[in-house]
Amino acid sequence: MKSKTNIYKDFNGYNAYPLAEAEKIIRNRLLDVFSTLIEKIEGCIEKAKNMRLIKILEHILAVKKRMERMKSKMKERDNIFVPAYLKARIAHVDEEKLKTVDFRLIELVDMNREILDELSCAEADTHIIDKFTRINENLREMETHCHSRALLLKKEIF
């Protein structure tokens, strides 16, 4: 799957900036992309409310709550711990591994966007719960990759 979003446009790489600044640039770009999913979920919530689809609404609200929790955790990462040897640029982060993780995060966002684009969120679609289950699984994988990303930024092995 080709990603629709290029978070590395006009970005010279993690090692070209102070690490905390570089991480914040990419994290904010990831947050912007992720925020579009939350907007799509809110549209689904309104449609499900209008149609009084309570069972579907429960699944949608659970996914939205998880997304909002993830978004707030991503925002809170402003104070990442940067080891002294990275601050002093004695060592560099593994940019290739970080890019791999970042691109996988974007792929997962794109996968969720495609699932949400296929849904009307207002029909009694028998597969809608399965689709929200897939979104939830993708979110779980995103959480794992965000944790891996944090470890890479601290130069720990994941």
The average pLDDT across 11-31 equals: 86
The average pLDDT across 19-45 equals: 88
- If pLDDT is split at 50, 70 and 90, which confidence band does 6 have? confident
Q: State how far the Cα of 141 lies from the Cα of 77, in Å rounded to an integer.
A: 18
* pLDDT at residue 87 in the model: 56
Work out the burial of residue 12: count CB atoms within 10 Å of its CB; fewer than 13 is exposed, 13-18 middle, 19 or more buried. exposed
* CB of 34 closer than 8 Å to CB of 67: yes
* pLDDT at residue 145 in the model: 92
Could you state, in order of their start, the residue ranges of all structural domains in the chain?
Answer: 17-153
Q: State how far the Cα of 156 lies from the Cα of 158, in Å rounded to an integer.
A: 6
On the question of pLDDT at 27 being above 50, the answer is yes
pTM of the complete model: 0.81
pLDDT digits (tens, 9 = 90+) for 36-71: 899 989 988 888 888 888 888 888 899 999 999 999
pLDDT digits (tens, 9 = 90+) for 78-121: 555 555 555 555 557 788 999 999 999 999 999 999 998 887 66
On the question of pLDDT at 134 being above 60, the answer is yes
On the question of pLDDT at 156 being above 60, the answer is no
